[in-house]
Amino acid sequence: MLTTDGIPGNELGQFLRATRARLRPADIGTTPAASRRGSALRQADVADALQASDRWYNGLENGAQPPESWHEKTVRQLGELLPLTAGERQYLHLLATGHEHPPPDPDVADGTPGMRPLLERYLALLGVPAIACDVAWNVIAWNQPMTDQLAGDATVRPGQSNVVLWLFTDEAERIIADLGHAREAEIGNVLLALARYPGDQRVQRLARQLQEIPAARRLWDRQRIPDDPAVSTRQVRLIRGGTHDGHLLNMEFPGRLRLLTLVPGTSWLAAMAGLDGHRRLRQRALSSLRLPASA
């Protein structure tokens, strides 16, 4: 369901319903009566296991505001009961309490001065494919190894494109071998970003755009949060041929900036031998990388 602004509403209820739908009573240690019809896990099963009222849990799944009495122990108990992955527990905590665990440091400013130029220089020094983005995966810049090894003449452009939306294009199929896995992981990360930065218009705009893509909307409705949002496996096709495994690191920096870095696996490193080494790539990146003035 979308609100009048096009943003998914009742994120907490939607997440709890989707999670409950993939479980059975035995998954939470409940044995239903022999006369009971159907094998699905019910709201009442969850409420009983939490030693809470049916009305209270029904309210959570149907849009009621989490009570002020919610605290760390209650959220932890629900995450353990369902059971949730580490990433899903983080997402639940954000939705239920409105803050990270532990709460973020209020002294850390959103717009940390000087961070973006530092990230630009760091990006240029990397000898592996990397992209700098804002908090909503809007591309700021990428480095030379990304062009040389993967992207070539791809249409993702600094200041003009979004990494998550690009995953739902035909061009992404040429580069990303395990595209289904990549799409699901990034949709989960967008859900986390919405919970972490509920007032950020860039993240809200990305959420609206994803709702307009049928394949993205189906993944959104599954409410799958990565077990470790910071790292995931990727299978990519290099420009010079072959499919290779790697790891995508998703690192957040002060100022609501992201750095997406692909760390090559063994076979990928071997395939890079014909590229004259990392030194040439680093020198080219340092001399040619520039951020668009409008970015």
Please name each of the domains of the chain with its CATH number: 11-97 (1.10.260.40), 115-288 (3.30.450.180)
- What are the tens digits of pLDDT across the range 222-281? 999 988 888 888 888 888 788 888 899 999 888 889 999 988 888 777 766 554 444 444
Measured distance CA(19)–CA(227) in Å, rounded:
14
Residues of the chain under the 50 pLDDT cut: 1-7, 105-111, 275-295
What confidence score (pLDDT) does residue 97 get?
A: 81
- What are the tens digits of pLDDT across the range 21-31? 998 888 888 77
Give, for 178, the enclosing helix (H) or strand (E). Answer: none
Q: Where are the beta strands (DSSP E) in the chain?
A: 130-134, 139-142, 231-237, 243-253, 257-264
* Contact by Cβ (8 Å): 183, 215: yes
Backbone angles phi, psi at 236, to 5 degrees: -125, 155
What confidence score (pLDDT) does residue 265 get?
A: 84
